Amino acid sequence: MWVCRALCRARAPAQLGQRLLPESSWRRPAAAPFSASAEPSRVRALVYGHHGDPAKVVDFMDDPLCSSPLGNYGLLPQLPAVGGNEGVGQVIAVGSSVTGVKPGDWVIPANPGLGTWRTEAVFGEEELITVPSDIPLQSAATLSVNPCTAYRVLMDFERLRPGDSVIQNASNSAVGQAVIQIAAALGLRTINVLRDRPDLQKLTDRLKNLGADHVVTEEELRKPEMRSFFKDVPQPRLALNCVGGKSATELLRHLAPGGTMVTYGGMAKQPVIASVSQLIFKDLKLRGFWLSQWKKDHSPDQFKELILTLCALIRRGQLTAPACSEVPLQDYPCALEASTQPFVSSKQILTM
């Protein structure tokens, strides 16, 4: 459960970045409106008291049902803290002055650092955004970060028209999967780069089923044969980089003159390197994107509009949740371990 201060009380789920409510938990409670003076109940939560390896610092414990200061992605939260930036919850009670949400509403975090790896919480209504309850639970649980990032990087840096190409690395990531689907809905072609792996054909087929036009490996992208590939496929005007290092260098090499590479992640933990000739003679542009900063620069209503735009794509069947594995909250060590394994394309969703 989650709760919204002033106050509203909501049932919630949790995940390593996203979460999901089990169907059995979605019962509208017949409870009196939540009161701040009521005796706090106890909830189960994944809490960390210091920073480090999640497998070593995260504990499963009781947590008081009360409002608490928020941490922020990009900043260190006050410790101890409840983990989790994403998820979907159901409001089960509200205070008398709450007008933005009502019992039964589905809600997602308005900002990062909400601490969603817990069964119940108390939040101010301004900390939550209502989402339609007619979309799949997994889509709602994974909505507030990755699809938003995908939509904004496609829309904010180049004026792309149907038929234009976009190239991206980390194409099997949650953002990458959303980019494929949103681009297809916009009539854009995607060139999707993957690391070579044992299940490459299976993953390639899955991405093409999502709408990917082309799937190539990092090794194939470096080969001279790619020149003939771009005789039949328009050179991309937009590159999306979530890796850095040599992978980012290859994206830049294949960008059309005047094109833009947007970096939104750094999985390789290596710098982005651009040659002088690329900047001078091809006039390539290097940009960065951080959703938290975008939200600081835009109003809450603009973020809500973005969420509703994505919900419309979901309803039309043009945007689905990334591949997910549901893990009961008490089995969180399994989810933590799976999230650190190489070549794992499935999001770990904690259910409760």
Asked if residue 210 belongs to a domain, the reply is yes
Are 198 and 235 found together in one domain? yes
Are 247 and 165 found together in one domain? yes
d(CA 8, CA 95): 5
Asked if residue 9 belongs to a domain, the reply is no
The domain boundary residue, chosen from 288, 310, 334: 288
What's the structural domain count of the chain? Answer: 2
Are 162 and 270 found together in one domain? yes
* Residue matched to tokens 């920073």: 51
The number of residues making up the chain comes to 352
Are 274 and 182 found together in one domain? yes
Give the number of C-alpha atoms closer than 13 A to the C-alpha of residue 44, restricted to the C-beta side.
11
Are 258 and 217 found together in one domain? yes
Are 205 and 315 found together in one domain? no
Give exposure, 105-114, as e/b (b: 16+ Cβ within 10 Å): bbbbbbbbbb
The domain boundary residue, chosen from 261, 288, 315: 288
Asked if residue 152 belongs to a domain, the reply is no
Are 199 and 263 found together in one domain? yes
pLDDT at 75: 60
Are 335 and 277 found together in one domain? no
Residue 13 clears pLDDT 70, i.e. is over it? no
Max CA distance (Å), the chain: 70
Q: Is 332 one of the catalytic residues?
A: no
pLDDT at 38: 41
Lowest mean pLDDT, pick from 167-176, 214-223, 339-348: 339-348
pLDDT at 67: 61
Catalytic residue among 48, 73, 151, 264: 73
Tell me: the pLDDT tens digits for 221-267?
A: 999 989 889 988 999 999 999 999 999 999 999 999 999 999 999 99
Domain extent for 284: 158-288
Q: pTM for the whole thing?
A: 0.86
**342 prior amide bond cis, ω within 30:** no
Asked if residue 28 belongs to a domain, the reply is no
Q: Kindly report the average pLDDT of the chain as a whole number.
A: 86
d(CA 288, CA 150): 13
Are 177 and 232 found together in one domain? yes
Asked if residue 16 belongs to a domain, the reply is no
Give the number of C-alpha atoms closer than 13 A to the C-alpha of residue 238, restricted to the C-beta side.
23
Asked if residue 103 belongs to a domain, the reply is yes
Three-state DSSP class for residue 226 = helix
Tell me: the pLDDT tens digits for 91-121?
A: 999 999 999 999 999 999 998 888 999 999 8
Are 307 and 264 found together in one domain? no
Are 101 and 217 found together in one domain? no
Q: What burial class does residue 188 get, using C-beta atoms within 10 Å of its C-beta: 0-12 exposed, 13-18 middle, 19+ buried?
A: buried
* Residues 6 or more apart in contact with residue 218 via CB below 8 angstroms: 169, 193, 194, 195, 196, 246, 247, 250
The domain boundary residue, chosen from 257, 288, 319: 288
pLDDT at 30: 30
Residue 27 clears pLDDT 60, i.e. is over it? no
165 in Cβ contact with 235 (< 8 Å)? yes
Q: What CATH number corresponds to the domain at position 339? A: 3.90.180.10
Are 176 and 275 found together in one domain? yes
pLDDT at 248: 97
Lowest mean pLDDT, pick from 105-114, 180-189, 294-303, 304-313: 105-114
Nearest to 346 by CA among 123, 119, 177, 162: 177
Max avg pLDDT among 55-59, 78-82, 225-229, 284-288: 284-288
Of residues 37 and 263, more confidently modeled: 263
Tell me: the pLDDT tens digits for 140-188?
A: 999 999 999 999 999 999 999 999 999 999 999 999 999 999 999 999 9
Q: What CATH number corresponds to the domain at position 162? A: 3.40.50.720
